[in-house]
Amino acid sequence: MKTDEIRTSFLEFFRQKEHKIVPSDLLVPQDDPTVLFTPAGMNQFKDMFLGRGKMEFTRAASCQKCLRTDDIEKVGQTPGHHTFFEMLGNFSFGDYFKKEAIQWAWEYLLEWLHIPEERLVVSIYEEDNEAAEIWEKHIGVARDKIYAFGPGENFWPANVQTLGPNGPCGPCTEIFYDQGEDVGCGTPQCDPSCDCPRYVEVWNLVFTQFDRQSDGSLVPLPRKNIDTGMGLERTAAVMQGVATNFDIDIFAPIINQLSSGLSQAYGTDEEIDRRLRRIADHIRAVTFAIAEGVLPSNEARGYVVRRLLRRAAMDARFLRSTDALFFQIVPTVVEVMKEAYPDLVQREGHIVQVIRSEEERFQDTLEAGTRRLEEKLSQMKQKGQGELPGEEAFRFYDTYGLPLETIQEICSEWDITVDVDGFNKAMEAQRELARTASGLGGEIFTVDQIAARIKGLIVSGKKKTTGEEGTEFLDDKILETEFLGNKMLESEAEILDLSDKDENPQETASAGEEVIIILDQTPFYAESGGQVGDTGVIEGEDFLVKVEDTKVRGTLFLHYGQVTKGEAKRGSSVVAKVDEKRRLALERNHTATHLLHFALRQVLGPHAQQAGALKTPERLRFDFTHP
C-alpha cells in the first residue's frame, strides 16, 4: 500500500466513524507561542482539550505535519526516527473514550490495513486496569501480548507526575508491530520497550483523563479526551515490508538521488547509510519549513533550519562532497510529497533558491571558521596554552559548524588538545535549550490561573452519557467574551471576572490597583495578528478603569489596566470605551501591511509571503520571505 493511500484510508476510516476531517495545521503554528514547530497532531486542538475553545465538533481526525528535534541524534541511526514526519491521529473531546479508541484502532489495523493479528502486541500503563481489561476481554488479545510499563513509557506527556507540565495528561496504550526475533537484539529480556528494531511502535493512544496539579497529583478531568498519534512513515514501512522508514515509497527516491549525487552506494555500508538517511530526513524537513516561510538564520525557527542544513552538509563532506547538492534534491521531495501537499509545487523555486544560497554560504563559513580557529590556536601557542577550552571549541562548532573531529584535527597540528568533556557539557546545555524550545519539554499544556478559574465560570448544562457505560459528564457551555469592536468602539458590558495583575481573583479593586478585567462583551480589540491590543477606559457608575492593553485567552478577552477612580467591583455594569484616535491609527497601519504585502508580491514574486508583522499606532513592521 502506498503512503498516499494509507493517509487517505486512515482519514476515510475515521470519517466513517463520524469524525470531522481537519486539515493539517501549519508546521509553523500561528497562534501558539509555546512551540517553534508543530510537534504533534493534538497541538492544534490544545484549547479544545482544555475546554477553552468553542466546541464545534467533538470528534476529529487529521494527518499532521510535525517537526521535532528531540530525537535528532537518533535520526538515521534507527529505522524509524525523523525530524519532520506525518502523524495520523483521531481525537475525542469529551466524546468517546478508551473502549471505542482501542476498538477502532484495532479494526483499522486488522480490517483496513490487513495487518496479521499475530504480528501485533500492545502495551498499557501499569496501573491502567481498565485498558488491560478492554484489550483482553473486549478485543481478545492474549495476556502475554499485553505489556505493562511505567510512566516513562506509557504516560503522555512521559513521566508527567514527576516532571510536569501541569494540565491535561493521561495514561496511554501503544500498539507495536513485531518484526520477529530475527530482526531484534535477540536477548531474552527484549520487549516493546527495548531500543532494538524488533518492535515498531505504530500507534500511541492517549487517554487524556487527568489534570496534573503543581503538587504532582492527578485530578480526574470532568471531560475525558482521546488523543492518538500514528506514525505515517512507520506504518508505511510495515505495509511495504521494508526494513526502515527510509525505504518506503516516499523516501526511496530521495535516498536514491542522494546516493547517485554523492556517488555512494546505499545498503552496503552502515555508516554511509546512516548519513544518507540523515541527509534525506533533514532535506525533507527544511523543504517543508522553508515552504512555510522560514528562512535560515541564527534565531529560533531559522536556526533550526540552518542547523539541519549544516548537519546534512557535514554528512555530505564526510562522504567527500563539498559541492552544493541539496538544492537539487528539492524537486524530488516535492514530487513524492505533492499529492498530500500540493502547495509545495508553487514554492519549489523559492525553496531551491534558499537552500542553494545557504549551502554556498556554509562553505564560506566553514573556511572562515577554520581560519579563525587557526588564529586562536596561534595566540594560544604564543601564551603557552596547551588545551582549547570546551566552551571555546563548542563556539567553533556552534557558530561555524566545525565538527568536533575537525576541530581536534586542526588542534593536533598545533599540538593543542581539546577539552572534550567541556565541549560535551556545552552541547548538552544547548540540547536542553532545544528541548525546551520544541515545546514538548514543558509548556504543551500550561494552565494559567485565569484559565483554571474559567472552569469555575463554566455554565453547566444538561447531563449527557458517553458511549462508555456509566460515564457521565456535563455538557458544558464555555463562557466567552463577545467581540463587538468591528461595529462599535463603545458598548455596555458586565464585569464577569476581576483579578489583580497576578491573576488572583478579587471581588473589588480600589484606585491605584492594577487589574485584569473580563467582560461579557467588549469593543476592545485584543492583540493578535501582530496588531497590538486596544486601550481606553471601562467606566462604572462610580469608578473608572484605565485600560492599557487587551489580550485574548481562549474564548475570553482580558483587559489589563489600573483603577483610577473609586472601587471597581466584580459583577458591575459598565461602559467600555476604546481610545478611538489610537484605534484608527492602528487600523491604518494594519491596512498598510496588506498594501505592502500586495506590492511585494507584485515586485518580488509570489514567494514573498508574510512571515510576521507588527502594527502599532505609530508604525508598522512587515516581515516577509525573500532570499
Interaction site with ligand SER (CB under 6 A): 40-42, 89, 156, 204, 206, 227-229
Closer residue to ligand SER (CB): 438 or 522: 438
For cell 521531495, name the residue.
333
Are the C-beta atoms of 389 and 420 separated by less than 8 Å?
no
Q: Within a 10 A sphere around the Cβ of 172, how many other Cβ atoms? A: 26
Closer residue to ligand SER (CB): 229 or 439: 229
For the stretch 238-252, what's the b/e string if a residue is b when 16 or more beta carbons lie within 10 angstroms of its beta carbon? bbbebebbbbbbbbb
Q: How far apart are CA 13 and CA 506, in angstroms?
A: 50
Closer residue to ligand SER (CB): 19 or 569: 19
Q: Which amino acid is at 213?
A: Q
Among left, alpha and beta (phi > 0; psi -120 to 50; other), residue 55 is beta
Question: In the complex, what is the shortest distance from the CB of residue 203 to ligand SER, in angstroms, rounded to a whole number?
Answer: 9
Are the C-beta atoms of 450 and 497 separated by less than 8 Å?
yes
Please name the residue ranges forming H helices in 415-544. 420-438, 449-457
Q: How far apart are CA 602 and CA 306, in angstroms?
A: 28
Closer residue to ligand SER (CB): 64 or 406: 64
Closer residue to ligand SER (CB): 418 or 440: 440
User: What residues form DSSP beta bridges with 122?
Assistant: 146, 175
Closer residue to ligand SER (CB): 3 or 204: 204
Closer residue to ligand SER (CB): 171 or 533: 171
Listing DSSP states for 324-360 in one string gives --GGGTHHHHHHHHTTT-THHHHHHHHHHHHHHHHHH
For cell 480589540, name the residue.
525
How do strand 544-553 and strand 573-578 relate by DSSP bridges?
Answer: unpaired
Question: In the complex, what is the shortest distance from the CB of residue 92 to ligand SER, in angstroms, rounded to a whole number?
Answer: 12
Question: In the complex, what is the shortest distance from the CB of residue 64 to ligand SER, in angstroms, rounded to a whole number?
Answer: 9
- Residue with the closest Cβ to ligand SER? 229
Closer residue to ligand SER (CB): 76 or 229: 229
Q: Name the nearest CA neighbour of 534 among 520, 544, 522, 543.
A: 522
